[in-house]
Amino acid sequence: MTTFTLSSFRDRPLQGRDDCTFCQIASGSQPAHLVYESERCLAFLDILPIRRGHVLVVPRRHVDNLAALSVVESNGSKTGEAGEAEEFIRGLVVVTRGVGKALEDDRLQIITNQVYGQVVPHLHFHIVPAPPLPGSTPSLSSSTASSRTSPKKETPPPQRSLLPLIGHGRDELDDDEAVELARQIRAAVDEVVKEETARRTGGPDAKL
């Protein structure tokens, strides 16, 4: 993917902080198909998806890379309150689960570029559905659990067999399809948030 990234973005101008597309999306001045929002994190469909369901997860605050996220709160918040880095990673996990649930397949590639090919210098993670292997079936936690009881076990293919299947074509997102896809992913993410909240608090009516 690095070769494709470099050849595709070598001649494209880098955005600066003042014209950052992701900051504009975070402020609401630029439209996007949102699938998740929190105080410090948001996620939306990539307008040039590698595959259907390609989502970007970004912090609301403009930072260039992961190391720039704040670990300790600077506003005197109480001990135990989620900081910027913690909330961002939590959002990344929640959205990853939600995408897998919505697509009924949790085989996903999580990608971030901090130097090469990063046209928008605002930290972002790509959640990209992985290419299906020939003859494979969707992999979800529930189906994985049931398959453990099956006497027949399939030998996983060698990693190199995935390489020819990694697609590099990126067509612009169809707006009509994106509306429905974002709705499906958003609903799945909401389910994940509710499940996680109930698990942490011990009750289905608990609030975040």
Active site residues: 124
Strands of the chain (E only): list them. 34-37, 41-45, 55-59, 108-111, 125-129
Give the separation between CA 150 and CA 144, rounded to whole angstroms. Answer: 10
CB 41 within 8 A of CB 59: yes
Angle formed at CA 197 by CA 193 and CA 203, multiple of 5 degrees: 135
Could you give the CA distance from residue 14 to residue 135 in angstroms, rounded to a whole number?
Answer: 41
Question: CB–CB of 45/32 below 8 Å?
Answer: yes
Distance CA 180, CA 97 (A): 18
Contact 121, 14 (CB under 8 A): yes
